[in-house]
Amino acid sequence: MQPEVISGKVWLVGAGPGAADLLTLRAARLIGSAQALLYDALVSEEILALAPAACLKIQTGKRAGRASMKQETINRLMLRLVRRGLEVVRLKGGDPSIFGRVGEEQAYLRGHGVETEIVPGVTAACAAAAQFGFPLTHRGAARRVVFTTARLKEGALAVDWSAAADLEATLAIYTGRDCAEALSRQLIAAGRPSTTPALAVENAGTPQARLARGVLGSLGALGLGAGGPTLFVIGDVADLAHAPGLQSADLLALAVG
């Protein structure tokens, strides 16, 4: 059976790390003309304010470790709204193609005859690197970057850390805050030295960003509380991180204007 043909379209848009001036121009334009906006919990109020007053705004949740709307519900809701003839924007924190489930949503919509378009955004690792002054790749130290999640389906800790043995790869690890000690053990067992420089960055790219520095062997001690999403960066480039105006310390906290 051929899928139904729907004239509407859904834009799958990256909201970046939170600051409105880090949106792409295309993302800002689409948000500004949206008739229905389905947004993740991490999308900032500053960005939501760009939507028209008459826009239907629906928070879908989608934050690690917290209750959120089921993916199947989000899929059906997007389809229902576009069938009503609305201009639908599905707004995701960071970049939709990096742990944003954009493939699942795109496949569902295409299967129902709905055209989609992905609009990229700044992901947390890039935001953290820019904010705290370190590169993700660096001549003589890091030739590759591995974007990975610490958790797999149903919250289980990932078990294949073969990439950790590559000493020339920077590891950018998402959703690892609650399993930092186990993550450290697995990475060391996979071949990464316990002395490898490590960073924990909370709320990357926002004025509330916080940075903790250490080494892989003490990853569990780099706790920053539960104030926001935490990214781990493992590799020699972590030694280059700095917070302007502050001295190097085990824990740095700052507000960036």
Active site residue 70: no
Active site residue 40: yes
Amino acid at 94: G
DSSP-assigned beta bridge partners for residue 233: 172, 199
**CB of 34 within 8 A of CB of 89?**
yes
The catalytic residue among 9, 21, 40, 178 is 40
The catalytic residue among 9, 21, 57, 62 is 62
Q: Which residues are catalytic?
A: 40, 62
